[in-house]
Amino acid sequence: MENFKKTSSETDEQYIHRICAMKESANMTWKQVADVINNALGQNYGESCYRKQYQMFQKGLQVNEKQIFTEDEYLNSIRAERRELEKEKIKMRDERIDYQKTVREEARKESFIELIERTMSKYIAPFDYVPSPVLYSNKDMIACLSDLHAGIEVDNWLNKYNSGILKTRLHRYADEIIEVQAEQKCQECHIVLGGDNISGLIHSNLRLQQNENVIEQVKIVAIYVGEFIAALRGKFNKIIVHSVSGNHSRLSPNKNEHLKGEELDGLVTFCLGLMFAGHDNVIINEDAAIDSTIDSFTTRGGNLFYSVHGDKDSEANVVKNLTLMTGVKPKAIIMGHRHHNAYDTDHSVKIIQCGSVVGADDYCVDKRISGEPEQCIVITTAERAVRCFYDIGLN
């Protein structure tokens, strides 16, 4: 039979073991086994020789079986320890990367502080506004101030805009607020800064030049908005300033690298807090109530308002998203970002959309969008969160 032949790769011992192991399956006697092996190897041993040799091999295998298994376990333990070492190496590498990122972010913040110190000393013309005494009613005012985009220069057939025009439009808005105040006799004024106070430089060029430009924008808007608040301060018992950050004020040009809370709009309220530190009737809420992009406040009668910039929300989903997110349904939501005034209701929640101070820029022209610079004023009472809505043009 072919299976009884010795292969070229087998040693004599391997061949003897294979034939002996085939005894049962081939239904052979030990004498037949001896005849096959002797014939293949040219030997002349009796059956007892091969039988004893095979039995000794089997006993040796049984004795060493436990030791062989133990060695396998030992190898497996070495492999497990090696995996743990690899995990620790990866953890150390990730910790090193996180540490380097933290150091880099701290260095960048220190750089901005130095830039602020250097640029805040530059001269900007004062706001130059003169105010004058009034009576009060049971109404309060919400003056929305969104999308100033300080630092941008626009000169197209629809619109002109620069820092000087920004100041002129804020003068005009202050006039409108004082006129509404004379009509409504409001006691308190909530000024809601809706984000994008600065134009920013969210598209990357020379980083240092961007830093200088951005800090100059923060300086301009902080001083102008501060003077705007000062012009209104004598007209109300109290002014409360709320603020959310917009997408134009992030530090990193790449929005995927942006860290929550690192928006330059936050510097504006910080500067305003310093400017009005000694004035009891002006309250600057430097930190938004929920996070840097979502604020909340209550007016007379406990009416709850939410404020967002609007880049992360739309009129269609803002009521549902904010209500489900916070667990509390508001009376009204204030938004900006879309550069036009609008007023709507969704499930009895009033949606107030504020326009922009900048008006139609080159982006709007490219997209065939026109619109005037505008802001809005809301009158609120204890009985009704939005008593009336003023659509204010700033041209």
Q: What's residue 23's pLDDT?
A: 81
Profile the chain (395 residues) by mean pLDDT over runs of 10 residues: 76 85 84 86 86 83 62 71 81 81 73 68 65 74 95 86 94 97 95 89 43 77 95 95 86 62 82 92 87 93 96 94 96 95 96 94 73 95 96 95
How high is the pLDDT of residue 152? 86
What pLDDT score was predicted for residue 70? 58
The H or E element spanning position 176 is helix 163-184
Residue with tokens 């809301």: 378
346 closest CA partner among 337, 358, 333:
333
Distance of alpha carbon 224 from alpha carbon 149, whole angstroms: 12
pTM of the model as a whole: 0.66
pLDDT attached to residue 212: 47
pLDDT at 107: 74
- List strands edge to edge, sheet with 188-193: 282-284, 238-243, 188-193, 140-145, 374-380, 388-393
Q: 178: how many CB neighbours lie within 10 A of its CB? A: 17
Q: How far apart are CA 375 and CA 262, in angstroms?
A: 26
Give the model's pLDDT for residue 6.
83
Judged by DSSP in three states, 394 sits in coil
**Parallel/antiparallel/unpaired status of strands 140-145 and 188-193:** parallel
Separation of alpha carbons 34 and 40, rounded Å? 10
